[in-house]
């Protein structure tokens, strides 16, 4: 059983400041180690609940992977990817070695040099939910008392109204029009994915991958789609939930790495559960949390911090996290 330890493998002060806040919010004790080999020895001996690793360069990552392979084994329960968080100053398109790694679970963009405390407090809520195995439910990622509104969609033709409702909500909360448009476009993609890309038959074959997105389909029973929205005055989170649990991690990460480099917005709809415009949303300041329980449900949440201007909005702290249950 994992101990209540957050192990940071990094020699950067900003990472230590960030990890300290994460640990505090998540109710963990922080252990810092600058050397990957020694860090892996601590993983083997102490079984920390959370592992943060500096993945800035391929060389540093390979040193970490080699130590894992030698001391523990890449597929040991002690190195579950659900609990490994890589930190990098470089964007997703430049860290393919992380995305393609069997150890990959979470990506943190190191944009917190000047706001490590605030970023750590925000990400700490994500880590706390993961440690406590509360990965489903938007309320788990916000401070207690934050109001969560829910909308259940019963037919695909409701999507435009749902997206417009989100935009109106944002405008009422004093988000700039351009920012509100970016966020509502992200929600449009999430809903499109849940309605058309996530549904699979009993054999796991996509049901609507070749269906026109203009087709009106009833969202009944297992096909039901739910949207939730929460705003605490600083961060907004919007979740879209489907009941199929068809998100495939390998395909998702493959498309993320490919599309992030080569295409402007769409992820190919033929990858079940991956049809979201991740590249543009992430580059525009959004963070993602993918939670999927095989054949049961997938909940994709996008987060944005309210900002005074678009430049600040685009440069905000962000992350991409995944949690898969089988």
What are the DSSP calls for 239-296, one per residue?
EEEESS----HHHHHHHHHHHHHH-SSPPPTTSTT--S-HHHHHHTT-EEEEEEETTT
pLDDT on residue 275: 40
Residues of the chain predicted below pLDDT 70: 1, 255-279
Q: What pTM did the predictor assign? A: 0.91
- DSSP three-state, residue 23: helix
DSSP 75-106: T-GGG-GGGEEEEESS-GGG-HHHHT-TT--E
Give φ, ψ of 190 to 5 degrees. -65, -45
pLDDT over 90 for what percent of the chain? 76
| Spatial CB neighbours of 219, under 8 Å, sequence gap ≥ 6 | 153, 154, 155, 156, 195, 225
Cα 105 from Cα 321, distance rounded (Å): 6
pLDDT on residue 256: 65
Is the sign of the CA dihedral 220, 181, 232, 289 positive or negative?
Answer: positive
pLDDT on residue 278: 65
Helix (H), strand (E) at residue 161 = helix 159-172
pLDDT on residue 5: 97
Helix (H), strand (E) at residue 46 = helix 36-46
Residue 241: beta bridge partners? Answer: 226, 299
């Amino acid at each position: 059983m994992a101990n209540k330890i957050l192990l940071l493998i990094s020699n950067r002060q900003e990472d230590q400041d960030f990890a300290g806040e994460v640990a505090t919010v998540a109710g963990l004790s922080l252990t810092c180690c600058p050397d990957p080999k020694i860090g892996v020895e601590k993983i083997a001996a102490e079984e920390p609940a959370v592992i943060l690793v500096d993945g800035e360069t391929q060389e540093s990552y390979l040193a970490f992977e080699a130590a894992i392979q030698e001391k523990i084994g890449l597929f040991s329960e002690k190195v579950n990817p659900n609990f490994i968080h890589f930190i990098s100053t470089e964007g997703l398109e430049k860290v393919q070695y992380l995305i393609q790694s069997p150890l990959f679970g979470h990506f943190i963009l190191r944009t917190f040099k000047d706001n490590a405390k605030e970023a750590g407090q925000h990400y700490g809520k994500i880590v706390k939910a993961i440690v406590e195995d509360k990965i489903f439910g938007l309320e788990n990622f916000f401070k207690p008392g934050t109001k969560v509104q829910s909308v259940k969609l019963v037919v695909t033709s409701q999507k435009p109204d749902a997206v417009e409702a989100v935009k109106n909500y944002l405008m009422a909360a004093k988000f700039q029009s351009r920012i509100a448009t970016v966020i509502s476009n992200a929600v449009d993609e999430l809903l499109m994915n849940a309605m058309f890309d996530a549904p699979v038959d009993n054999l796991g074959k996509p049901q609507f991958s070749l269906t026109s997105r203009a087709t009106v389909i009833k969202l009944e029973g297992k096909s039901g789609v739910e949207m939730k929205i929460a705003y605490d005055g600083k961060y907004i989170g919007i979740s879209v939930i489907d009941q199929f649990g068809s998100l495939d991690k390998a395909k998702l990460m493959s498309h993320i790495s490919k599309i992030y480099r080569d295409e402007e917005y769409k992820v190919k709809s033929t990858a079940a559960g991956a049809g979201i415009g991740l590249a543009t949303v992430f580059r525009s300041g959004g963070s993602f949390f993918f939670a999927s329980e095989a054949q049961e449900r997938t909940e994709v949440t996008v987060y944005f911090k309210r900002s005074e201007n678009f430049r600040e909005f685009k440069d905000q702290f962000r992350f991409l996290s995944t949690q898969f249950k089988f």
